[in-house]
Structures are given as structure tokens and as C-alpha cells.
Amino acid sequence: MPDVYTTEWYEAVRDAMNASAADLPDLPDGSFVVAIEIVGDGISPYVGTEGRRFLVRIDAGRCSWWRETLDRAEERREAGGPVDYRFTGPATVFDELAAGIGDPIDAALRGIINVRGDVRFLLRHADHVKALLDAYTTRVATTWPRGRPPYDGSPGGSQGVLPGAKGESASA
């Protein structure tokens, strides 16, 4: 089981996404690049104040690669231009989602995670997007060497920041 935000973990997430996509009957054509911006919030022990950012490239419905980047300039170089979608949110929220706590669609609808990009295509392929998100949140057995979310002291207290978040804070 990989530690969160390690190379092995990203690879496991990619494989889980592709396994989920393989079950779908109608995969979208074309390619797009998504930027994930995890904003450091001083609570997550895995994300410093500078945050983390990574790119995910989807080709014909499957994740081809992911790359962690330092800043928007590097992001643009790696993506070969502007990204198609950008998801931005606090580290605690992304940690909780990776731990299977809460629902990423809920987080987006509530504005806890900010989504930018052409909403018409997100809606068109909502089932595909949901499958990818489900893989991220539930199909990878992640280990948390510095403690598992929800964290004590998060904006939502020990129950986490996401609606429906339940569970106990754990330490390594």
C-alpha cells in the first residue's frame, strides 16, 4: 500500500482510474489536461504552505500520465499550453477525499473545491468524471505515515471539513 502523494501512490491512482474507466461503455474521445492545485492550509502534514500541484492527462478516457509541477510556468510547459480544467482546494479537503471521506462532487457543488473549465463537457461526461473521482477516493489503499484524516484542528474539527465526513483522527 503506497504512502499518500508518493510516486507509487500516483501510479496506483492512475491504475485505479484506468480500471474504472475500463468498465464504462462510452469513453470520450480526445485528450485533455487537468491541473490539481492543492493549497497548503497549515493542517495537512503532507502538504506544506507552498502547496502541491500536479497535472493529469486523459487520452480517450484513460489517464496517460500525471506529473507534479512546481508552479504555473512549469505546469504550462508540461501541459504544452493552458490546461483544460483546474481543480483548486485546501489540502485538508484533498487529503480527506483521498482517504475516502466525503464526496468530491459534493465538494465541488459546495464550492469547497473550485472547478474551472468548460462545464458543458464536464456535464456531458459526468459519468466518466464520476468514475475517475471514485477511483481517486475509494479504489486506492493509501497509507498515512503522519496520521490519517480527518485531522484534529481542521475547520470542521475532528469530523473533517467535508459534508458527511466521519471517522477518527489517527496517528502513525
Partner 1 sequence: MVRRLSAPPAVVAEEGGEAAGMAAMVADLIEANMAGSPRRARAVSGTQGNVVLSADDRGLSVTVSFHRERVSVVGSSLGDAPVLAGSWMDMARVCSGRCSPARLVLRRRLRVRLRRPLRPLLVAAYVLKVPRSTYSKEKPSW
Show the cell assigned to 136. Answer: 481517486
CB of 139 to partner 1, least distance (A): 19
Q: Which of 7, 64, 114, 143 contacts partner 1 by CB under 8 A?
A: 114
Show the cell assigned to 114. Answer: 473550485
Nearer to partner 1, 54 or 105 (CB): 105
Element (H, E) at 18: helix 7-22
Element (H, E) at 59: strand 52-59
Q: Which of 36, 58, 91, 101 contacts partner 1 by CB under 8 A?
A: 58
Binding residues among 119-138 for partner 1 as defined by CB under 8 A: 119-127, 130
CB of 172 to partner 1, least distance (A): 33
Taking Cα atoms as reference points, which of 88, 89, 96 lies closest to residue 154?
Answer: 96
Q: Which of 3, 15, 78, 106 contacts partner 1 by CB under 8 A?
A: 106
Nearer to partner 1, 100 or 102 (CB): 102
For position 118 contacting partner 1 by CB under 8 A, the verdict is: yes
Helices (H), 23-141: 72-79, 91-98, 104-109, 119-124, 126-138
Q: Which residues contact 10 (CB under 8 A, 6 or more apart)?
A: 54, 66, 68
For position 105 contacting partner 1 by CB under 8 A, the verdict is: yes
Residues of this chain that bind partner 1 (CB under 8 A): 28-32, 58, 61, 84, 105-115, 118-127, 130
